[in-house]
């Protein structure tokens, strides 16, 4: 019994840590190193209830949705859809246009194989998908035919015998795209990108992120709404009217010169865009 308790005490923090959720649904910087709420234009459903914007990036404060086999108890989306109550001026809904590359951010919560700080290359990543919902009602379940796959964001390299260099190479696909993981294993930022399909009908759509960490572990999901405008010009008009930047994302690795893991000549476009 004592041994069992000791094992629990050692094992639980690691298990409990490996969960996640989407914090930002329209982030300006692709493949970035550090979370900055000023670079986030839009937020998931119910974000304001958990202070996702100004709270500690690695704490969910109850904003976490892990599915099980009981959709009547654990719905696909943590909050039922209500566009009037689930978004605020401080944490608004996203605005996209067909062809836009959208960047999402999430905390890593310890779940990255990076041999600079973890002596383990076998950190699973099983599925990272973005769906759009067909219709206005939330689907019951993750296998509903109302969920249309918009993008498969790949999986991160892992395995007991992979070349360790793969684990320290960024950008990487999937959940573990978190170049500064080793600086803060729980609260470091991972980013994904997906592209709004060219044939997506203008109008308001619900999007769903699904992450399967390991086949035995139930999926994690986050839901959000976005107004899809027919053109970038129309989307820009919307963001201008709400006081947001209309610049689309830049890529961290393209704007910075990185030598031996250090940024040479640092520039931060957010200063020019949001302040200048
Ligand atoms: C890393 O893990 C391997 C295999 O489990 C072990 O042999 C080695 O001693 C570990 N190294 C460190 C620095 O913990
Ligand atoms: C977007 O993410 C994918 C992996 O899902 C990656 O292959 C691709 O290079 C990324 N696009 C950009 C512009 O970074």
pLDDT tens sequence across 158-212? 999 999 999 999 999 999 999 999 999 999 999 999 999 999 999 999 999 999 9
Instruction: Choose one of 127, 149, 172, 173 to mutate for the ligand 2 pocket test, by most ligand atoms within 8 angstroms of C-beta.
Output: 173
Q: Is the CB of 269 under 6 A from ligand 2?
A: no
At residue 191, the pLDDT reads 98
Ligand 1 center from residue 119 Cα (angstroms): 6
Q: Token digits for 196?
A: 């709004």
Instruction: Choose one of 174, 193, 209 to mutate for the ligand 2 pocket test, by most ligand atoms within 8 angstroms of C-beta.
Output: 193
Task: Name the residue ranges covered by the structural domains of the chain.
Answer: 19-275
At residue 4, the pLDDT reads 44
At residue 15, the pLDDT reads 45
At residue 271, the pLDDT reads 55
At residue 16, the pLDDT reads 47
Fold for the domain defined by 19-275: Coagulation Factor XIII; Chain A, domain 1 (2.70.50)
Q: Is the CB of 231 under 6 A from ligand 2?
A: no
Q: Is the CB of 130 under 6 A from ligand 2?
A: no
DSSP letter for each residue of 28-96: SEET-SS--GGGB----TTGGGGTTTTS-TT--TT---B--S-TTTS-SSSS---TTTS--SSSPPEEE
User: Whose C-alpha lies nearest to ligand 2, atom 10?
Assistant: 193
In the chain, which residues have pLDDT < 50?
1-16, 275-276
At residue 262, the pLDDT reads 79
Q: Is the CB of 104 under 6 A from ligand 2?
A: no
Q: What is the DSSP letter of 274?
A: I
């Amino acid at each position: 019994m004592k041994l069992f308790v000791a094992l629990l005490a050692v094992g639980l923090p690691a298990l409990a840590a490996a969960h996640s959720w989407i914090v930002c649904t329209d982030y300006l910087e692709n493949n970035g190193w550090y979370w900055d709420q000023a670079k986030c234009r839009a937020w998931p459903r119910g974000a304001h209830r958990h202070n996702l914007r100004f709270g500690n990036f690695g704490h969910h404060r109850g904003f976490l949705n892990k599915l099980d086999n009981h959709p009547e108890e654990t719905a696909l989306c943590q909050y039922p859809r209500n566009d009037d109550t689930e978004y605020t001026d401080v944490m608004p809904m996203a605005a996209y246009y067909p062809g836009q590359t959208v960047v999402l951010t999430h905390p890593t919560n310890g779940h990255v194989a990076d041999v600079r700080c973890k002596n383990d290359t076998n950190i699973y990543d099983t599925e990272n998908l973005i769906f759009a919902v067909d219709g206005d009602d939330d689907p019951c379940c993750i296998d509903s035919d109302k969920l249309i796959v918009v993008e498969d964001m790949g999986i991160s390299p892992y395995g007991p015998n992979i070349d360790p260099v793969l684990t320290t190479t960024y950008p990487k696909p999937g959940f573990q795209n978190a170049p500064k993981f080793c600086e803060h294993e729980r609260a470091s930022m991972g980013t994904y990108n997906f592209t709004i399909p060219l044939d997506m009908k203008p109008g308001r759509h619900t999007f769903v992120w699904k992450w399967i960490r390991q086949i035995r572990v139930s999926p994690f999901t986050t839901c959000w709404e976005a107004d899809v405008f027919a053109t970038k010009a129309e989307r820009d008009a919307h963001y201008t009217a709400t006081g947001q930047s209309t610049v689309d994302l830049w890529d961290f690795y393209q704007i910075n010169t990185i030598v031996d893991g250090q940024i040479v000549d640092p520039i931060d476009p957010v200063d020019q865009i949001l302040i200048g």
